[in-house]
Amino acid sequence: MYFLRIEEAEQERMAELLANILELNDIDRDIVLKAIENKGIDCFLGNPRLFGLSADICLKVRHIKTIVETLFKEGVDASGN
Amino acid sequence: MTQVVIDHTESFLKSFAELTGVSYEKIRDYASNNNPLNIINHPYSNAFGRDVVDKILQLKEFYASYEVLKNAENREVKLNSSEASKNYFLSLLGNIKDKERFLVSYLDSGLKLIETSVVSEGSVNEAAVYPREIVKQALFNDAVFIIMAHNHPGESCNVSTQDIKCTQKVVDALGALNIKVIDHIIIAGKTAVSMTESGLFPSPGISRER
């Protein structure tokens, strides 16, 4: 029996989802999960180069960041409402 | 200001095209007649191939999770309807297939989210729930209402007898403290069921229309 703050649980889930997206772009999910495990998802999204990943992976991560930040800034509701 | 919005959209479109493999021209064409940000919520309406739709759906899921986290940081989540609760917990529990996870959201008197905690995680079909721990956390958060949620990894939407019994235990434990359990959301894959909405909640629910 234990409690986790939701941020931890949510970040864990976000890491999985991010790895899924990158996997669809032919990037090894284990590399992504390992990188996120080290410094957290915010850091990974913000500075993917810090993790010694290839330029191709960094670029894909930046695209994902641009997309989600734009949607959030513009107030798009993920539930479609 | 207009320029900022255009630049914003441009970078969104370019990133979207690069990531999904859809041609930039096709996205531009769509954006000339529609709000381009709608693509993520309506991937099927643009005649994309299956692989592209899969990528968009993954992006949408990731965005839903990102949105929840950002909103939680801003303390803006208000679970004032079954619909809001279902969407909120879907973004947290949707598609977890390898384990059962039990969450509890603690709300203030205005049904605004104070905190959501993972109460327990179990094997594929069982997560132990101890009302005593929920009571402790509810008091710690000074909660007035709580909403429980868990996922069914097997993706069955049926509310089980076990689900009802577990809800009853928590309702009874918190009742004496005047903390009301107002719903229990079951998540099965991409589907959410509200026990209150479906009339299966073991004690009279309260109106959340405010």
A5, A60, A76: residue with CB nearest B117: A5
Contact A78 B37 (CB under 8 A): no
Complex ipTM over 0.85: no
* A/B interface, count of CB pairs below 8 Å: 124
pLDDT digits (tens, 9 = 90+) for B177-197: 999 999 999 999 888 999 999
Task: Verify whether the Cβ–Cβ distance A21 to B59 is below 8 Å.
Answer: yes
C-alpha B201/C-alpha B85 separation (Å) is 15
Q: In what order do the strands lie in the sheet with B180-188?
A: A4-5, B113-122, B100-107, B145-151, B180-188, B191-194
Best of B13, B61, B62 to disrupt the A interface by mutation (most A CBs within 10 Å)? B62
Per the model's pLDDT, the better-predicted residue between A41 and B195 turns out to be B195
Please tell me the predicted confidence (pLDDT) of residue B130: 85
Q: What is the mean pLDDT of chain B?
A: 83
Interface of A with B (CB under 8 A): 1-11, 13-14, 17-18, 20-21, 24-25, 59-60, 62-64, 66-68, 70-74, 76-81
Q: Which residues of A fall within a CB distance of 8 Å from B66?
A: 14, 68, 72
Nearest C-alpha of chain B: how many angstroms from A26?
A: 11
- Fold designation for B78-194: Cytidine Deaminase; domain 2 (3.40.140)
pLDDT, position B124: 53
* pLDDT confidence of residue B205: 46
- pLDDT of A79 reads 66
For the ranges A14-18, B68-72, B121-125, B183-187, the lowest mean pLDDT is seen at B121-125
The closest of A32, A33, A30, A62 to A46, measured between CA atoms, is A62
Tens of pLDDT, residues B34-85? 788 888 888 877 678 888 888 888 888 888 888 877 776 665 688 999 999 9
Among B1, B10, B15, B57, the strongest candidate for a mutation testing the A interface, having the largest count of A CBs within 10 A, is B15
- Dihedral, CA of residue B194, residue B200, residue B206 and residue B210, to nearest 10: 30
Gap between the Cα atoms of B19 and A13, Å rounded:
20
Strand B113-122, strand A4-5: pairing: antiparallel
Cα–Cα distance between B188 and B56 in angstroms, integer?
21
Q: How confident is the model at residue B208 (pLDDT cuts 50, 70, 90)?
A: low
- Crossing angle of helices B161-175 and B131-140, in 10° steps, is 40
The angle at the Cα of A51, spanning A48 to A52, to the nearest 5 degrees, equals: 105
Closest residue in B to A26 (Cα) is B19
Cβ of A68 within 8 Å of Cβ of B63? The answer is yes
Residue B94 near residue B187 (C-beta atoms within 8 A): yes
| Backbone φ and ψ of B80, nearest 5° | -100, 15
